[in-house]
Structure 1
């Protein structure tokens, strides 16, 4: 006896007709993410392993992947997966989370349109300022800096 429910593929693709076709991976693998981060523009004067600019020119922090603050980012399919885009390094870019959610599955948006939906981050000396930054992220970034400054001043005594 066979089940009356249809079989589902792991990829969520509707091509499960038994033709032996490989399912496209929906998500970027670890190596693609690493290469995608490395391909993003480096923020001048900042540690290149920690800070990058996304495809719209927004500053993002490597620590904050898949969260919702102004420094957070996600890996985005340039050509949306839903429109045939593959999960490859050539089709990967980092985008501030807020911008990626705005972009959704559209591909016709230009850099100016994406930038218009961004959280603005400005670095000023050692710290940065954003009127809309998540307070928790701000504290996570600010406290180690203040602690290091205090520790340094204690060593100078």
Structure 2
């Protein structure tokens, strides 16, 4: 392989090599991604480092980056890279993966059209709590924080010294 040949699977290597040659970077760097996440709409009642909303109003989970489920998201060029958009925080937005795929390289897509691309599934607070417990091992909501109980704790073999209360998930049905 010559030094000018692209390498496969190198991740940021190709991007860094391209920048040295004066080419525009195709992907967002870690700083741009962090700023992009921070500027996305906060989900009321949810931990802002774990949950955000995309411009179409879809709730996404930070751990579900670059996958295909309804809580998954990607970093999107607002002005598409193919149309001259730069890989900067100012030109970045988080979009539910499905929405981003339908948006494709369209330059300006209004909110109603983005909403039309969204997954049909809308999660309840209880469902988001269960997902958060499964993904993070605890649930952090303002005024309602809890942790996952250990198996030994559930079997009554040990009493936790953790002052944070154990979550009651799944929720007990009230009659």
Q: TM-score w.r.t. structure 2 length?
A: 0.64
Aligned length: 132
**Match of residue 97 from structure 1:** 97
Cα distance in 1 between the residues matched to 2:124 and 2:25: 41
Structure 1 vs Structure 2 CA RMSD: 3.2
Shift of 1:127: 2.2
**Match of residue 149 from structure 1:** 168
**Match of residue 156 from structure 2:** none
Deviates more, 1:56-65 or 1:114-123: 114-123
Q: Is the Cα contact below 8 Å between 2:68 and 2:98 reproduced in 1?
A: yes
Encode CA deviations 1:66-104: one digit per residue, 9 max, x unaligned.
000000000000000000000001000000000000000
**Match of residue 63 from structure 2:** 63
CA change 1:51–1:138 in 2 (3 A) is closer
**Match of residue 44 from structure 1:** 44
Gaps of 5+ in 1: 12-19, 129-136
**Match of residue 79 from structure 1:** 79
Q: Is the Cα contact below 8 Å between 2:79 and 2:108 reproduced in 1?
A: no
Cα distance in 2 between the residues matched to 1:139 and 1:41: 22
Q: Is the Cα contact below 8 Å between 1:58 and 1:121 reproduced in 2?
A: no
Encode CA deviations 1:38-57: one digit per residue, 9 max, x unaligned.
00000001111101001211
Q: TM-score w.r.t. structure 1 length?
A: 0.70
**Match of residue 126 from structure 1:** 126
Shift of 1:21: 6.5
Cα distance in 2 between the residues matched to 1:45 and 1:144: 15
SS in 2 for 1:116: helix
